[in-house]
Chains A and B, each alone.
Chain A
Amino acid sequence: EVQLVQSGAEVKKPGESLKISCKGSGYSFTSYWIGWVRQMPGKGLEWMGIIYPGDSDTRYSPSFQGQVTISADKSISTAYLQWSSLKASDTAMYYCARQGGGMDVWGQGTTVTVSS
């Protein structure tokens, strides 16, 4: 079964760092782009950026460039999304998804709550 499994919910304070993960299985992880999508409470989907684990080619939305870092470790079929200094406005659900013709496989989502 093709699946993406994300790490669990996080509760952090402003200014803290965080790295969440997305582990792929059931397919060739290095052959598909993996994208990250933010969904703030009660809002729509926002595409943040994407990585090709085969060569680590990474693209960011201008809205998220410099705010987050996307990376991957192909040896363990895992992509990451990280923040160096969280803000309250980073509170959201974050999804990873495999990007082929459309995003055809989604992780279950990771809830990030940033509160003092």
Chain B
Amino acid sequence: EIVMTQSPATLSVSPGERATLSCRASQSVSSNLAWYQQKPGQAPRLLIYGASTRATGIPARFSGSGSGTEFTLTISSLQSEDFAVYYCQQYNNWPVTFGQGTKLEIK
């Protein structure tokens, strides 16, 4: 099973600033990596798939990069609605696995 490790566990950033979230895979997942946003009381929402492709309707301030074992989600200028928990997920191998999440909080 591929283990996905996200860092940091919590990230405190001010509105308008840039946030950088990291995700590492225990072995290569090629570019089969997705990022999700989850707000309290809501289902997760797909942000990025294929490591760098924005899902339908996702603002351009969200970008993904990386391949193999190292991945990054960048939010270029944080809006109030972006404070949430973010998860990475690999779907290169069965079983599909999620990272443990990064909580993005207001500084």
Chain A residues near B (Cβ < 8 Å):
35, 37, 44-47, 49-50, 59-62, 95, 97, 99-104, 106-109
Contacts and interface: CB of A to CB of B under 8 A. Distances in A.
Interface in B84-107: 85, 87, 89, 91, 94-101
Given A101-B34, A103-B36, A103-B44, A47 B49 contact: no
A97 B95 CA distance: 15
Contacts of A35: 96
B17 interface: no
Contacts of A50: 96
Given A49-B95, A59-B94, A103-B34, 20 more contacts: A35-B96, A37-B98, A45-B38, A45-B44, A45-B98, A45-B101, A47-B97, A47-B98, A60-B95, A61-B1, A61-B97, A95-B43, A95-B44, A99-B96, A101-B50, A101-B53, A102-B46, A102-B55, A102-B89, A102-B91
A46 B49 contact: no
Interface string B44-59: 1110111001011000
Contact of B89 (A47, A100, A109): A47
A44 B100 contact: yes
